[in-house]
Structure 1
Amino acid sequence: MDRYRVRPRVWIGLVVFFAYVAVVFVVQQITGIPYTDFGKSGANLFLGAGLSLIVGAILLAITTTLLGWWRPALSDRRRAAHTWPIVAPAIMVVALLLNLTSTDWGSYDGAFFAASIVLLLVGFTEELTTRGLLLVALRSRLSEVWVWFLTSALFGLMHLVNALTGQPLAPTLQQVVLAFGAGTIFYVLRRVTGSLIWAMLLHGFWDFSTFAVGHGTPGPFYAFAGIVEIAAIVLALIGVAFVVRGADERIPTANSVVV
């Protein structure tokens, strides 16, 4: 039986979630780069997004170690019985590749590329926060269907902070809805593979591709990427019913060690 330094509780996961959002917001406010200007230069991308990700990654690594939650945060005890829903993440990879093939690579310079590499950290920080630590906390009390829904919903709502850092409200709300769908895809990927690592990688490269295609003049395949992404989300929303069915991932806390 798994043993933890700190017994998983729902409130701990929520504190970690809101603390991460607050740290990202505060760091971005200190740098003073509006969200809509992130993609304009390497300096903007690093100060606007990269720096907050570095700070967040360090704090999350420390927090996870202190809690003793690395193992349950990164892996499930059993994979989902149904594997076909992995089609949804696979289709998202197609959308990602469409973004990359539509990117105006000629508009890149060394600074923007370096800042874009730092952006890959978003896969580690946001996945560990939501489908890692928050998921562990929710599994201490809730059924798996609620674990999926709440981790995906809070992941979507996390993006509301972009409206406070310069993005207009309408596209922010659209981003929240799409993030809920993307969160479902990442959750499905975790359940089918049994590991959060693949979701971290897909998430990181997805954000890399969206900022990449938004820099310079996108190519002709850009419009198709959005359509393919919607198709992936629809399949994930269907498939999630199969990956939560029969899931036995409740965190056993009765014999956990609390310090």
Structure 2
Amino acid sequence: MTSPQPAPVLRVRPRVWIGLAIWLGYVIVVFIVGKLSGVPYTEMGRDGGTLFLGAGLMLIVGAILLAITASLLGWWRPALFDRKHGARWPIFVPAIMAVALVINLASTDWGSYDLGFFAASIVLLLVGFTEEMATRGLLLVGLRSRLHEGWVWFLTSAAFALMHLTNALSGQDIGLTMTQVGMAFLGGTIFYILRRTTGTLIWAMVLHGLWDFSTFAVGHGTPGPLAALASPVFMLAGALGLIVVAFVIRGADERTDAPLPAANAASLA
């Protein structure tokens, strides 16, 4: 394993309530932007226009606000990087999810794409930055100020899952939404494992963004015969993730409650 990195100098001392406030604020903002777009969740992705207005616009707004928040707090480094990565071998779990992603892309009816839909689809890649930064980034930094790493995994994964409840308020069937919430918890566990095995949130952002891109892609047009395999492969990755997540939690020492430098502490008094 690599040697631990020194604790970063933070402009604002992390607190659990700050992380939760950022997460809740993100959920509220993207929900409001989505509602103002006038595109129901069930119509999102029908064409390039509905995909951009229903998803792309909220992701752009969310990305800008999260970047500003991370800069004001001085939390960029602990949000994106761990001081020491966990066990490496559980990385096979996100690798299995990547197989499901490839199945989606291989099953996509690329001939059904037009320029507008493709451009809007590219904007979807921002979901990797926004949802990861809101949960396994800034929320994680806040939780690590007080909680054991096991709680950090569980609560960031649960917060990520609960984000998807807003889809029911945007027109999606409640039963389908609850299934989505459960799958999101598994996905959150996979992304957490990827953060801990690599020591950075960046790869989780990449996998997350490509995954959402692939799920919208395969749902456009007529999917290929292998498309039905992606979900079972993803579920396998999620189930294995629940089994091995303890190994990346074990020995984690990522507390973010170090005292502020004297100058910063005095300015906040």
Same fold (TM over 0.5): yes
Quote how far apart the aligned CAs of 1:255 are: 3.5
**Residue number in structure 2 paired with 1:70:** 76
Q: Secondary structure at the match of 1:253?
A: coil
Which AA in structure 2 matches 1:36? Answer: T
Shift of 1:254: 2.5
Counterpart of 1:112? 117
Task: Select 1:165's aligned residue among 165, 170, 179.
Answer: 170
Shift of 1:39: 1.5
Number of equivalenced pairs: 258
1:9-51 superposed Cα distances (whole Å, 9 cap, x missing partner)? 0000011001000110000111110111112000000000000
2:235 & 2:48 partners in 1: Cα distance? 29
- Distance (Å, rounded) in 1 between the aligned partners of 2:160 and 2:62: 15
Correspondent of 1:51 among 57, 64, 80:
57
Question: In structure 2, what is the equivalent of residue 5 of structure 1?
Answer: 11
What amino acid is the match of 1:7?
R
Question: What CA distance in whole angstroms lies between the structure 1 residues aligned with 2:224 and 2:14?
Answer: 47
Q: Give how far 1:166 is off.
A: 1.0
**1:243 corresponds to 2:248:** yes
The alpha-carbon deviation at position 252 of structure 1 amounts to 3.3
Shift of 1:86: 0.4
In the alignment, the residues of structure 1 paired with residue 257 and residue 104 of structure 2 have an alpha-carbon distance, to the nearest angstrom, of 42
Letter in 2 for 1:59: L
- Tell me if the contact between 2:146 and 2:257 (Cα under 8 Å) persists in the aligned partners: no
Cα distance in 2 between the residues matched to 1:177 and 1:252: 31
2:25 to 1, 19, 25: 19
- Quick one: which amino acid aligns to residue 216 of structure 2? F
Instruction: State the Cα distance separating 1:84 from its structure 2 match.
Output: 1.3
Root-mean-square deviation (Å): 0.8
Q: Which runs of 5+ in 2 are unaligned?
A: 1-6
1:87 paired to 2:92:
yes
| Shift in Å, 1:217 | 1.0
Q: In the TM superposition, what whole-angstrom CA distance separates every residue of 1:140-195 from its partner, at most 9, and x where no partner exists?
A: 00000000000000100000000011111001000000000000000000000000
Structure 2 residue 159 is the aligned partner of structure 1 residue 154 = yes
Residue 139 (str. 1) matches residue 144 (str. 2): yes
In 1, the alpha carbon distance for the partners of 2:236 and 2:36 equals: 38
Instruction: Check the 8 A contact 2:13/2:260 in 1, yes or no.
Output: no
The 8 Å contact of residues 60 and 129 in structure 1, kept in 2 or not, is answered as: yes
- Are 1:223 and 2:228 an aligned pair? yes
What TM-score, normalized by structure 2, do the two folds share? 0.94
How far does residue 2 in structure 1 lie from its aligned partner after superposition? 2.0
Unaligned runs of 5+ in 1: none
Which runs of at least 4 in structure 1 moved beyond 3 Å after TM superposition? 255-259
Letter in 2 for 1:203: H
Match of 2:3 in 1: none
Deviation at 1:73, TM superposition (A): 0.2
User: In the aligned structure 1, how far is the partner of 2:143 from the partner of 2:125?
Assistant: 26
Q: Distance in 1 between matches of 2:129 and 2:8?
A: 23
Aligned sequence identity (%): 67
How far apart, in 2, do the equivalents of 1:174 and 1:252 lie? 36
